[in-house]
Amino acid sequence: MTLLRCIIFLLFAVSFVLGQSAQQSKQPRVAGDPAALVRNLYHVVIVRHPISFPEGADMKALAPYLSKALIRRLGTSLACAGDWSRQHPDPNLKPPYGWVDDGFFSGGNERASPGGFHVESVQPEKNGSFRVHVRLKYSEPIQNPYWYVDVIVTRENKHFVVDDVVFLKDDWDEESRLSEDLAVDCDGSRWVGHGDERKVE
């Protein structure tokens, strides 16, 4: 019986290790330069069109491209949204936080689900990070089909990762940053703002 148990244990251990190796090989490889990293990230954005807070499979697909600091900010923002829900249990109220209908890597409104992108340039910054200038394209044909964002890329554990996104000023919007937008009306994980709480139509 003891030999049989040893064999079963070894078979289980081998299948576990092989399963872990297969899982790791399915993980996307994080690119070795800022432009390639951003291209890989936006391929995921175009395919998945994550709106609002990326969760589940969307977050799993995006997480390898994001810095630990950005992932922490996302978690804090989600906790703040949960605190708003606790303070406002009426299910007919629409949450007032701005990112609820946004694409975190593209912008709000019709910009939440871009139909295409092109990395235009990479600019090194004095602090060692890089500013990657990206042209995004609307899904629907319109007169001016493009808008632009700057993706802030930094090095973490010898890899490049996305640390922030700058939504550039244009005719529609003022310049803002993802990191700032996530913190509006929040004190860490606590909701402290009042916002524009409206009944859901």
In tens, the pLDDT along 51-91 reads: 777 888 988 999 999 999 999 999 998 899 899 889 988 88
Interior/surface letters 132-169, b for 16+ CB within 10 angstroms, e for the rest: bbbbbbbeeeeeeeebebbbbbbeeeeebbbbbbbbee
d(CA 107, CA 150): 12
User: Do the domain assignments include residue 162?
Assistant: yes
User: Do the domain assignments include residue 7?
Assistant: no
- The larger pLDDT score, comparing residue 42 to residue 138, is at 42
User: Do the domain assignments include residue 45?
Assistant: yes
**Rounded (5°) CA angle 50-81-67:** 55
User: Do the domain assignments include residue 35?
Assistant: yes
Closest to 195 (Cα-Cα) out of 73, 55, 88: 88
Q: Considering its fold, how many domains does the chain have in total?
A: 1
d(CA 17, CA 150): 40
pLDDT value of residue 16: 33
In tens, the pLDDT along 7-36 reads: 333 333 333 333 433 333 344 445 579 999
Give the global pTM.
0.77
User: Do the domain assignments include residue 3?
Assistant: no
d(CA 150, CA 155): 16
Closest to 114 (Cα-Cα) out of 49, 177, 171: 49
Question: Residue 100 pLDDT > 50, yes or no?
Answer: yes
User: Do the domain assignments include residue 16?
Assistant: no
pLDDT value of residue 12: 34
User: Do the domain assignments include residue 122?
Assistant: yes
Domain assignment of residue 158, given as a range = 29-194
Question: Residue 147 pLDDT > 60, yes or no?
Answer: yes
pLDDT value of residue 151: 98
User: Do the domain assignments include residue 21?
Assistant: no
d(CA 126, CA 152): 12
One-letter amino acid for residue 42 of the chain: Y
Mean pLDDT computed over 123-148:
90
Beta-carbon neighbour count of residue 61 at 10 Å?
A: 19
- The larger pLDDT score, comparing residue 150 to residue 19, is at 150
Query: Mean pLDDT of all residues in the chain?
Result: 80
Mean pLDDT computed over 136-165:
91
In tens, the pLDDT along 115-125 reads: 999 999 999 99
pLDDT band at 127 (very low <50, low <70, confident <90, very high): very high
Tokens at 183, concatenated:
């913190």
